Amino acid sequence: MKHQFIKVAAASPALKVADPAFNATKIIETIEKQAEKGTEILVFPELSLSGYTCGDLFLQKALLDGCLNALKRVAAATQGKKMLVFVGLPVSAEGKLYNCAAALSGGEVLAFIPKTYLPNYNEYYERRYFAPAPEEDVTFPLAEGWGQMRRDLLFYDGEHPQIVVGCEICEDLWAPEAPSVGHCKRGATVIVNLSASNETVGKREYRHKLLAAQSGKNLCAYVYCDAGEGESTSDMVFAGNNIVYENGVCLAESKPFAGGLAEAEVDVGFLLSERRRNSTFSPEGDAYRMEASFVTDGDLTLRNIDPMPFVPQEEGERRERAALILEMQAHAFARRIAHIHARTAVIGVSGGLDSTLALLVACRAFDLLGKSREDILAVSMPGFGTSLKTKNNATALMQALGVSSRQIPISQTVLKHFKDIGHDPEEMNTTYENAQARYRTMVLMDLAGDTGGLVIGTGDMSELALGWCTYNGDHISMYAVNSAVPKTLVKYLVLAEAERLGGRAEVVLKSVLGTEISPELLPPDEKGEIAQKTEDLIGPYELHDFYLYRFLRRGDGPAKTLYLAERAFAGRYDRATLKKWLVVFYRRFFAQQFKRNCVPDGVKVGSVSLSPRADLRMPSDASAVLWVEEAEGL
């Protein structure tokens, strides 16, 4: 799979208890089907060649020999396939019987991994038949020239040595010191589990909790394969509840009694990136590794690449996320207000989304503190580019929220400033734009000083990432409540608050939501409408937020990012457009770090933040050449 994605599957095919030949046939049929799909790691249940519920038949030599003969057939079926397959069977070695997983690839039995922890709930459970894996990591040579038996084995692809697979069996996951912990510390990025977990009320939910925790704390992918409906139902029932997790997130599941096939594409590159950044993950010890060839160059076919990774896809989850973020922002700002004993909060309100969100947060914070909203001083400062729509929205919003408002036109003062510095106002360059932003900031700062207040920053994380702010202008405030909120999420926060408030406030907020994104620093067009459209100048924010997420949160390089963007935005942007704005993203992100290195405090609300104090450590003069050259060469 491209870009360190691995296609995995957990399958529970039809089974007959104590009929290895039948079971092998069904396993081989599954191998053939999954090979056509490009599956690279395929896992079958615990004791899948014999059946888990054989009871005392495990002590019969006929069954043991039948399983070994069946294993030969299954191993032969992997010949010529780029696939690593795990099947379960009982294996006799050194005078004892072991519950094993056999690793198969390239037509061969690579090795056997014995189960470490055996359940013993009553006299009929596994300790009646099987011995636990030896405490020491010893190697048992086996007959017929097949591999060996060893509990600490790891498997890796020779051409992709960082893709490493470890194996444990059922109860091993439930144990306080699961073998998978050691496997991950020794380099395993993917853990497979051959299981036979009978179904009871509440057990599915418990499995999810275990798998989420195990994959999350070990920064790994976890492929869990459960015994299916063919097992004996004398005392228990098995449901084929197969599940795939990646770093605490469920990627795929076959729900109980739903067919027993779970498939997913695991991002091993992301897992490796997480391990590099996570200081609590400490690799230790040497591993006994075996080489196999199972990584292909196939394309992604299963994985959904979310075009808006900062915004939950489900409406209900979006509402919950929005409510939580608004609470976080409000409580953080309230804490700062209370700590410095500020009498007022001062904010510039333009009628755009960002300042609207900041004003909503300020209102929530003052409500939490029991302070009057009249102590929030909202200031409208129309300038050269202010449109009638945004000006009216700003005024209506202040009235609807019950805050104090002031309007301070800035055009004449800025023209006087141009005269002072010798700038021709007909030359609408960076100076023309920045002078307005800096003067607005000065007005707010002076009003805060005059009223014993604190200036609220309105800029969002996407603008910080691209440096789309005026240094010592809107770049500066006394507390930046939106600094960790990406642009693609802002509108959902405003929408959530609109629906919560209702009435006149909701009407005004929905008008704001329909306004074009613009700094409004250049004059409107001949119709009085916004002429300066941000996304025409620096690119669509949905692309830049996607690139920012892949770069900082997932650790992806340019090639992988573009590959995923083509899938996420298929039918909306062509490759040339995606590449163009990707290059712009890298250039701007690196060039604008000097602005981020001196930003004001602001609350972190998600997994990505650009704060130089809490998250992003990056020199202001770092070169973008590696990223830009790779992106331009795609």
- Residues composing the chain: 634
Which candidate in 81, 82, 115, 579 is catalytic?
A: 115
Side-by-side strand order, sheet with 96-105: 140-141, 148-149, 108-114, 96-105, 84-93, 41-43, 5-11, 261-267
Q: Does 598 qualify as catalytic in the annotation?
A: no
DSSP alpha helices (H): ranges in 341-406? 353-369, 388-401
Tokens of 291: 């080489």
Instruction: Please tell me the predicted confidence (pLDDT) of residue 533.
Output: 66
d(CA 443, CA 448): 9
For residue range 27-46, list pLDDT tens digits in order.
999 999 999 999 999 999 99
Query: Is the distance from CB of 151 to CB of 178 less than 8 angstroms?
Result: no
State mean pLDDT over 618-630: 97
Instruction: Please tell me the predicted confidence (pLDDT) of residue 282.
Output: 73
For residue range 503-519, list pLDDT tens digits in order.
999 999 999 998 776 65
Instruction: Please tell me the predicted confidence (pLDDT) of residue 15.
Output: 96
Instruction: Please tell me the predicted confidence (pLDDT) of residue 61.
Output: 95
Query: Is the distance from CB of 170 to CB of 179 less than 8 angstroms?
Result: no
Query: Is the distance from CB of 549 to CB of 529 less than 8 angstroms?
Result: no
pTM of the model: 0.93
> Nearest to residue 3, comparing CAs of 555, 423, 459?
555
d(CA 408, CA 399): 16
* The residue type at 187: G
Residue 254 pLDDT greater than 70, yes or no: yes
Our separate counts of H helices and E strands in the chain read 20, 20
Instruction: Please tell me the predicted confidence (pLDDT) of residue 119.
Output: 85
Tokens of 136: 């020491």
For residue range 46-70, list pLDDT tens digits in order.
999 999 999 999 999 999 999 999 9
State mean pLDDT over 257-276: 95
Read out DSSP for 62-109?
HHHHHHHHHHHHHHHHTTT---EEEEEEEEEETTEEEEEEEEEETTEE
Query: Is the distance from CB of 206 to CB of 217 less than 8 angstroms?
Result: no
Sequence-ordered strand ranges (E) for 142-293: 148-149, 153-157, 160-169, 190-194, 221-225, 242-246, 249-254, 261-267, 288-292
Q: Does 115 qualify as catalytic in the annotation?
A: yes
Instruction: Please tell me the predicted confidence (pLDDT) of residue 632.
Output: 97
> Nearest to residue 66, comparing CAs of 93, 29, 101, 92?
92
Which whole-number Å values give the CA distances from 298 to 41, 191, 301, 303, in the listed order?
13, 21, 9, 13
Instruction: Tell me how far the alpha carbon of residue 455 is from its chain's centroid.
Output: 33
Sequence-ordered strand ranges (E) for 106-260: 108-114, 140-141, 148-149, 153-157, 160-169, 190-194, 221-225, 242-246, 249-254
Can 2-292 and 315-632 be said to share one CATH topology? Answer: no
Instruction: Please tell me the predicted confidence (pLDDT) of residue 150.
Output: 87
Instruction: Please tell me the predicted confidence (pLDDT) of residue 520.
Output: 59
DSSP alpha helices (H): ranges in 521-601? 534-538, 541-548, 558-568, 575-591, 593-596
Instruction: Please tell me the predicted confidence (pLDDT) of residue 389.
Output: 84
Q: What percent of the chain has pLDDT over 70?
A: 95
Domain 315-632 has CATH 3.40.50.620: yes
Residue 322 pLDDT greater than 60, yes or no: yes
Residue 140 pLDDT greater than 80, yes or no: no
d(CA 275, CA 269): 10
d(CA 337, CA 144): 76
Residues with Cβ < 8 Å from 362, sequence gap 6 or more? 333, 345, 347, 376, 403, 456, 481
Instruction: Please tell me the predicted confidence (pLDDT) of residue 32.
Output: 98
Own/partner contacts of 516-520, CB < 8 Å, gap of 24 or more, are 517/352, 517/353, 517/487, 517/541, 518/352, 518/385, 519/385, 519/433, 519/437, 519/468, 520/350, 520/352, 520/383, 520/385, 520/386, 520/387, 520/390
Tokens of 35: 């090979």
Instruction: Please tell me the predicted confidence (pLDDT) of residue 534.
Output: 72
Q: Does 46 qualify as catalytic in the annotation?
A: yes
Query: Is the distance from CB of 372 to CB of 344 less than 8 angstroms?
Result: no
For residue range 324-363, list pLDDT tens digits in order.
999 999 999 999 999 999 999 999 999 899 999 999 999 9
d(CA 554, CA 600): 26
Name the CATH superfamily for 2-292: Carbon-nitrogen hydrolase (3.60.110.10)
Q: 344 - beta bridge partners?
A: 453
> Nearest to residue 173, comparing CAs of 136, 210, 120?
210
Tokens of 403: 């805050």
- 36 C-beta neighbours (distance < 10 Å), count: 9
Mean per-residue pLDDT over the chain, rounded: 93
Instruction: Please tell me the predicted confidence (pLDDT) of residue 280.
Output: 76
Instruction: Please tell me the predicted confidence (pLDDT) of residue 516.
Output: 73
Side-by-side strand order, sheet with 344-348: 404-407, 376-380, 344-348, 453-457, 479-480
- Phi, psi torsion values for 171, nearest 5 degrees: -60, -25
Q: What percent of the chain has pLDDT over 90?
A: 84
Domain ranges for the chain: 2-292, 315-632
Instruction: Please tell me the predicted confidence (pLDDT) of residue 526.
Output: 65
Residue 466 pLDDT greater than 90, yes or no: yes
d(CA 554, CA 317): 22
d(CA 325, CA 482): 10
- Phi, psi torsion values for 406, nearest 5 degrees: -140, 150
For residue range 80-101, list pLDDT tens digits in order.
999 999 999 999 987 889 999 9
For residue range 98-120, list pLDDT tens digits in order.
999 999 999 999 999 999 999 87
Residue 603 pLDDT greater than 60, yes or no: yes
User: Dihedral of the CA atoms 285, 288, 293, 296 (nearest 10)?
Assistant: -20
Query: Is the distance from CB of 215 to CB of 221 less than 8 angstroms?
Result: yes
Instruction: Tell me how far the alpha carbon of residue 362 is from its chain's centroid.
Output: 30
At 218, the pLDDT band (50, 70, 90 cuts) reads: very high
Residue 122 pLDDT greater than 60, yes or no: no
Apex CA 479: angle with CA 475 and CA 484, to 5°?
A: 75
First CA to last CA distance, the chain? 19
d(CA 96, CA 105): 26
Instruction: Please tell me the predicted confidence (pLDDT) of residue 135.
Output: 72
For residue range 386-407, list pLDDT tens digits in order.
788 888 899 999 999 999 999 9
For residue range 143-195, list pLDDT tens digits in order.
566 778 888 899 999 999 999 999 999 999 999 999 999 999 999 999 999 99
At 18, the pLDDT band (50, 70, 90 cuts) reads: very high
d(CA 337, CA 372): 13
Which candidate in 67, 170, 363, 469 is catalytic?
A: 170
d(CA 439, CA 553): 36
Q: 411 - beta bridge partners?
A: none
Which candidate in 7, 26, 40, 46 is catalytic?
A: 46
- 594 C-beta neighbours (distance < 10 Å), count: 12
